[in-house]
Amino acid sequence: MRILLIEDEKKVADFVARGLRAERFIVDVAGDGTAGMQMLGDCEYDLIILDLMLPGVSGSEILRHIRRGGKQVPVLILTARDAMTEKVAHFEAGADDYLTKPFAFAELLVRVKALLRRGPANRASVLRVGDLELDRLSQQVKRAGKRIALTAKEYALLEYLVANPGRVFSRTMIIEHVWDQSFEGL
């Protein structure tokens, strides 16, 4: 699953991205609001983790842009702003969850998984093709009931293909969905 992290604090962004990648997520990182807006237009994401206090375009503006555009992608606000009025305002603007800094990575991870589990109504958490079963939440793959160990990239590629049966993909489409923004294709 592909996550966009829009966070201007480099240490926080590196920490979150590294942790999520260790959990086998594809993570693109935008260091400011302008870059985040650009990346939103370039790719479809399964989840967005959004800081509010960003240079360029604010997180609040990005959230409004996402919801005005009709996108149903889950948005988790990750911010130092902890006032109840801020939380209420952002939930009313369309945020799906709100986590204040400082935070424990374990809590962030369970919130990410919960949001992905809810996801858009048309997203099944377990995908099946014949005797192949792919569980998006546990990121486990089984064939005829026997677990198959995959690398993170193998899993991401298989998930992309299984989630889109009967569809033909170009090399560019696969690279854009399975690899992060820093990948330099051949």
Which amino acid is residue 114, in one-letter code? A
96 CB-side CA count, 13 A: 23
pLDDT at 181: 57
pLDDT at 139: 83
pLDDT at 71: 81
* CA 175 to chain CA centroid, nearest Å: 16
pLDDT at 185: 54
- Comparison of pLDDT for 177 and 140, the residue scoring more: 140
pLDDT at 105: 96
pLDDT tens for each residue of 83-142 = 999 999 999 888 999 999 999 999 999 999 999 887 554 455 688 888 999 987 778 899
Residues 6 or more apart from 161 whose CB is under 8 A from it?
Answer: 169
Q: What Rg do the C-alpha atoms of the chain give, in angstroms?
A: 17
* HEC per residue, 54-70: CCCCCHHHHHHHHHHCC
Burial of 94 (0-12, 13-18, 19+ CB in 10 A): middle
Q: In what order do the strands lie in the sheet with 26-30?
A: 26-30, 2-6, 47-50, 75-79, 97-100
Closest by Cα among 116, 34, 108 to 73: 116
Q: Collapsing DSSP states into helix, strand and coil, what is residue 80?
A: coil
> What does the alpha-carbon distance between residue 133 and residue 141 come to, in Å, rounded to a whole number?
6
pLDDT at 88: 93
pLDDT at 21: 93
Q: Which two three-digit tokens encode residue 184?
A: 């330099």
pLDDT at 152: 85
pLDDT higher than 80, residue 176: no
pLDDT at 121: 40
pLDDT at 119: 59
Containing 5, the helix (H) or strand (E) segment is strand 2-6
> What does the alpha-carbon distance between residue 138 and residue 153 come to, in Å, rounded to a whole number?
15
pLDDT tens for each residue of 10-69 = 999 999 999 999 998 999 999 999 999 999 988 889 999 999 999 999 999 999 999 888
Residues 6 or more apart from 82 whose CB is under 8 A from it?
Answer: 100
